[in-house]
C-alpha cells in the first residue's frame, strides 16, 4: 500500500512524513543535484534518455526539469515493507490512483490555515520565496484539494505532535485491517475511521 501526502507548501507534510518511520519513495529527476544532495537518497539523478526508459507511476515538469516516481521504486520498496509513502501534488496523486488498485492507495491532505503557512514559509525560506509559494498554492487551487483525500488532517501551529499521533493512529488501523483481510471486503479503513470519529 502507498500513502500519499499532499497539501499546500508550508502545511508541514514533508516534516510529518519524515517522522513516520515508513519508507519514503524516492523520485527520479533530470535536473542536476544540488551540492548537499546525494543520489539515491534525495533523488535518483538521471539523464533525459534514462528518464524516457522509466516505467512511471506519475510524472511532472517543474522549471524545465522532469520528475517522476518509477514503478520499480514502488515495487522494490513494497517487497520489504507493507506500507510506503510519498509527498506529492494533486496531479501526481491522480495519476497514481489511475495506475494502482483503489485499495492500495490512501491519500492524506495536510491542512493548515493560510496565516500559519505564511509565517512558516517566511521564517524558513524568506519573504520572496514565501510570496512565490503562497501565490503558486492559490493559483493551482492547492487549498481546495482536500476533497480528493481519504483523510484530512489539521496541522495548525502548535499541533504538530498531535497531528503526528493522528496520522500514526490511522496507519495503525490500516495495518490492522490489512492483516485481518478487511480490504478484501466492502468495508474499508475509511468506514471504520469515520464510524469511530462519529461516536
Put simply, whether the predicted model's pTM sits higher than 0.75 gets the answer yes
Rg (Cα) of the chain, in Å, rounded?
A: 17
Tell me whether residue 174 is exposed, middle or buried, using C-beta atoms within 10 angstroms of its C-beta: 0 to 12, 13 to 18, 19 or more: buried
> Cell for 106?
490512501
Assess whether pLDDT exceeds 70 at residue 138.
no
CATH code, 94? 3.40.50.300
Contact of 135 with 117, CB cutoff 8 Å: no
Q: Which of 15, 46, 80 is the last residue of a domain?
A: 80
Q: Which of the pair, 77 or 195, is modelled with greater confidence?
A: 77
- Over the stretch 64-106, which tens digit does the pLDDT of each residue have? 999 999 999 999 999 999 899 999 989 999 999 999 998 899 9
Confidence of residue 24 (pLDDT cuts 50, 70, 90): very high
Contact of 99 with 4, CB cutoff 8 Å: no
Domain containing 68 equals: 26-80
Q: Which of 49, 80, 111 is the last residue of a domain?
A: 80
Contact of 77 with 25, CB cutoff 8 Å: yes
Amino acid at each position: 500500500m502507498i500513502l500519499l501526502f499532499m497539501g499546500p507548501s508550508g502545511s508541514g507534510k514533508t516534516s510529518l512524513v519524515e517522522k513516520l518511520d515508513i519508507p519514503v519513495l524516492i523520485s527520479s529527476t533530470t535536473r542536476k543535484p544540488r551540492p548537499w544532495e546525494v543520489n539515491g537518497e534525495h533523488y535518483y539523478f538521471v539523464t533525459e534518455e534514462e528518464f524516457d526508459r522509466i516505467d512511471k507511476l506519475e510524472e511532472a515538469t517543474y522549471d524545465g526539469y522532469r520528475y517522476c516516481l518509477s514503478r520499480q521504486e514502488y515495487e522494490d520498496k513494497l517487497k520489504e515493507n507493507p506500507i510506503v509513502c510519498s509527498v506529492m501534488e494533486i496531479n501526481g496523486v491522480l495519476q497514481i490512483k489511475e495506475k494502482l488498485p483503489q485499495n492500495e492507495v490512501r491519500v492524506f491532505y495536510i491542512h493548515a490555515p493560510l496565516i500559519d503557512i505564511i509565517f512558516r514559509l517566511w521564517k524558513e525560506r524568506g519573504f520572496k520565496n514565501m510570496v512565490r509559494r503562497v501565490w503558486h498554492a492559490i493559483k493551482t487551487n492547492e487549498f481546495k484539494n482536500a476533497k480528493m483525500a481519504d483523510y484530512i488532517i489539521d496541522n495548525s501551529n502548535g499541533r504538530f505532535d498531535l497531528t503526528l499521533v493522528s496520522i500514526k493512529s490511522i496507519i495503525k488501523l490500516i495495518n490492522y485491517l490489512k492483516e485481518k483481510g478487511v480490504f478484501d471486503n466492502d468495508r474499508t479503513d475509511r468506514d471504520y475511521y469515520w464510524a469511530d470519529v462519529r461516536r
